[in-house]
Amino acid sequence: MTAVQSTAPAIRAPFVLLLRVSAVLTMAVMLWQPTMAGLFTTGRVSYLTLHDIGAGVAALLAALDVVAAVLLRWPGRGSAALIPHAVAMLVLVGVQMALGFTQLVAVHIPLGVLLFGMALGFTARAFARRKS
């Protein structure tokens, strides 16, 4: 039993790293998105294209967050607390993309602020110290 306990942190380490890298990249894209949208308001259409590409990247990274949270948890390597947070972000990114494509800016902008806050919280939780 002692051997299993001593190797648990070593087995878990790659999954913690994946979660942390994914979380930081997600947070960076969530900051990139309003920057590109704001620059689009200066009249340069190319920034809207970058904002559109960023939406796809945000969706991929949110999906990676879910995968990383599940891999960290399964089987019994970590807490399941990050999984609902990651799933909620993934769902809200999909809603955010739909709102952006339909140009419902009055809801799109506040939801973007919420998503950045969620990404920031997810990243903080990914870096929080946990018992192994």
What's the chain's average pLDDT? Answer: 90
At 98-112, the pLDDT tens digits run 999 999 999 999 999
CB atoms within 10 A of CB 85: 19
The answer to whether residue 115 scores a pLDDT higher than 50 is yes
The answer to whether residue 127 scores a pLDDT higher than 80 is yes
Measured N-to-C along each axis, helices 2-40 and 105-127 cross at an angle, to the nearest 10 degrees, of 150
Say what the pLDDT of residue 71 is. Answer: 93
The answer to whether residue 3 scores a pLDDT higher than 60 is no
More confident residue, 47 or 76: 47
Say what the pLDDT of residue 11 is. Answer: 61
- Model's pTM, two decimal places? 0.86
Say what the pLDDT of residue 12 is. Answer: 74
- Provide the 3-class DSSP secondary structure of residue 106: helix
- Which range has the worst mean pLDDT, 12-21, 87-96, 122-131? 122-131
The answer to whether residue 49 scores a pLDDT higher than 80 is yes
- What the block records as the tokens of 62 is 């949110």
